[in-house]
Amino acid sequence: HLVWWFLHIAAQPFVSRLVEAQTAVPNDKPLSVDQGSFDLGLEGIQDGGVVTRFPPEPSGYLHIGHAKAALLNEYFARIYNGKLIVRFDDTNPTKERVEFEDSILEDLTLLGIRADAITHTSDYFQQLYDYALLLIRRGLAYVDNTDKETIKYERDFDIASSCRDQTVEENLERFEQMRQATDFGQTCCLRAKISVDCPNKAMCDPVIFRCNLTEHHRTGDLWKIYPTYDFCCPIVDSLEGVTHALRSMEYRDRNPLYEWFFPALDLRPVAIKDFSRMNFVYTLLSKRKLQSLIDQGAVTGWDDPRFPTVRGIRRRGMTIDALRQYVLMQGASQKNMLLEWDKIWALNKKLIDPVAPRHTAVVKQGLVPATIVSAPANPEVRDLPKHKKNPDLGTKRTVFSSLVFIDQADAATFEQNEEITLMDWGNAIVESIERTSEGTVIALSLCLHLEGDVKTTKKKITWLGQAPDLHPVEAMLADYDYLITKKKLEKDDSIEDVLTPVTEFLEPAIVDVNVDSLQQGAIIQLERRGYYIVDKTRAQNDLGLVTLIKIPDGKATNLAIKYKEVPGAKTKKA
C-alpha cells in the first residue's frame, strides 16, 4: 500500500512540475539506477476514462517480463480510475492450450491484478474476417501464394510480389479458398498492401491472415484461417474501447503498422505508448526458447525453479510482494537495461527475513557424531523461539541430548581444547577429536562449559540432537545455477552452445524435527546456511524426504555462476 501511495503521488501533475524544477538545481547525489519514471506522456487523459489492456498469448506461462507489462497496465488503469482488460490473444491454435489460460489467470490473481473484463481475440474472429474482406474490397490487401522464403527475399530487397496487382475479384476468390482451406488456399496468406520499399520492414506488405488446420481450443474447427497479432491487436483494441495501448519497446518498429489500420478501416484510433522490457542477465525470456529447454529435458517444466516464469521464481522463494515492488520500482522507463538479479533477491530477503522461522540442518556427507560430556543423561526437549526477534512466530521443539550431530565442515576446523559455542545451548570445550588417516573427522567428544562467554568464541556451531520420539528429519537441500553461461544472448547465438551443463546441485541433509510439520511453500532460514522454501513435504516426495530449495539472498557471491567448466561435460537432464 505504501508503494502504491508514493506512485499515486508521483503521478500527480503538480509533482511532475516540482520534479522538473528540481532537476534544474545542481545535485551531486545520483538518482537510483533502479528507480524508473512513470512519465509515459499519456495524452487525452480523463479521470475514469482510461482503458488499458494486457493481451497475453496462451502459449506458455507468465514470466517476469509479462509481470511488468501486466502491472504497468493495471497501474495506469487504477491511477486514473479507469478499466483494465485482460484479453487472451488466442490466434495461433498450434501453440495455445486451456492449461496456459488457466495458469495465466491464476498468476495474475497472485500478482494482485484484478481485470475488469476478461476477453479473447477469438470472440472477434467473424468481425476480423469481415474487416479483412473490407481491406480487400478497398484494394488495401491481397492474397499471396508466394512461398515464405521468396516473400522474405523480396521484402529484404524491395521487390514487389507478383500477386500484388491482382484484381479485387481475384483476391476475394482466393481469400475464400483460404477460408475453405482448399489445397491451393493452404498455400496462400493475406497481406496488407502498404509498401514495397519502406525502410521499416514491418510496413512492407505484412501478412495479416494465414491458414491453420489445427482445431482451436475455443472455436473448434469453425475456422481454418486466423489473423496475425499485427492485424487483430489494433482492431480489437479499438472495438473494446481501449484508450491507451501500452507495450514493450520490442514492438516499436510495428507501431506505424498498428496505427495504419485505423484510417484504413475507419476505426477509432488508440494511443500507443511503449516501455522498456525487463531483461535479466543469464536469462531467457523467449517462450519458444523456454519451451525448447523443456522439450530437451534440461528442466522439469514451466514451473522449474530455474525458469524466469512467475511460477518458477515463486517456487524458488520469490514472494509476490517483492516481485510487485521491484517491477513498480522500475517504472515505465523507455531505457533498455540488462538487469542483475541481485536487487530483486535482496528486496525479497528484506521481506522474508523478519518472518522466516529459524531452523537447523546438518549435511549428511561426513556427518560427525559428537558426545557431550556432562549433558543430561536423558534427552531434554525445550521450547525455543522460532525467531528471536519475532516472538509472534511461536516456538519450536529443540532436543538437548548427550549425542549430537555436527557438520564435517565445522568439525574439521576444531582444535584440541578449543572452546566453541553450540548455538542455543552454550559453550563447550573440544576434549578429543577422532580422525581417519585421510584427516576426516569421524567422532568428537565435547565437554559443556555453560559458564563460558559466547562473545569470546570464534566458532558458533549449529548442531542437532535426538530423542527416542524426536529424530532429525531426512531432507534434500537443492540449489540452482543459471541455465545459460552468457550474460546476454545475441541473435545468432545457439542455445546449445551456451547451455550450462550442470544447473542443479543436491545435498542430502538432516533437519530438525519441526521442519516435518511445515507446509509446501513455507519459507524458513536454516541457521548459517541461508533462506529456503519447502518445495515438497515428506508426504509429497516419493523418497520420503523434505525437499528444500535455497532462496538467493541478493549477495553477488551467491549469485555468481556455480558451474565450473569440465572438458567434455554434457548437459545433465533435469
Question: Cβ neighbours of residue 440 under 8 Å, at least 6 residues apart?
Answer: 366, 408, 412
CA separation for the pair 194, 263 (Å, rounded): 13
Active-site pick, 201, 277, 459, 460: 277
Active site residue 287: yes
Q: List the grid coordinates of 120.
A: 479473447
Annotated catalytic residue within 68, 78, 287, 311: 287
Distance, CA of 255 to CA of 259 (rounded, Å): 6
**Do strands 441-448 and 368-373 pair parallel, antiparallel, or not at all (unpaired)?**
parallel
Go through 444-480 and write b for each residue having 16 or more CB atoms within 10 A of its CB, e for each that does not. bebbbbeebeeeebeeebbbbbbeeebebbbbbbbbb
Choosing from 57, 74, 96, 154, the catalytic residue is 57
10 Å Cβ neighbour count for 43? 9
Alpha helices in 138-183 (DSSP H): 148-156, 168-180
| Helix ranges (DSSP H) in 318-452 | 320-330, 342-352, 408-411
Active site residue 277: yes
Find out whether 240 and 85 touch, Cβ atoms under 8 Å.
yes
Contacts with 522 (C-beta within 8 Å, 6 or more apart), sequence order: 533, 534
Give the distance, in angstroms, between the CA of residue 53 and the centroid of all CA atoms in the same chain: 20
- Report how far residue 516's alpha carbon sits from residue 76's, in angstroms, rounded to the nearest whole number: 44
Q: Where in the sequence numbering do the catalytic residues fall? A: 57, 277, 287
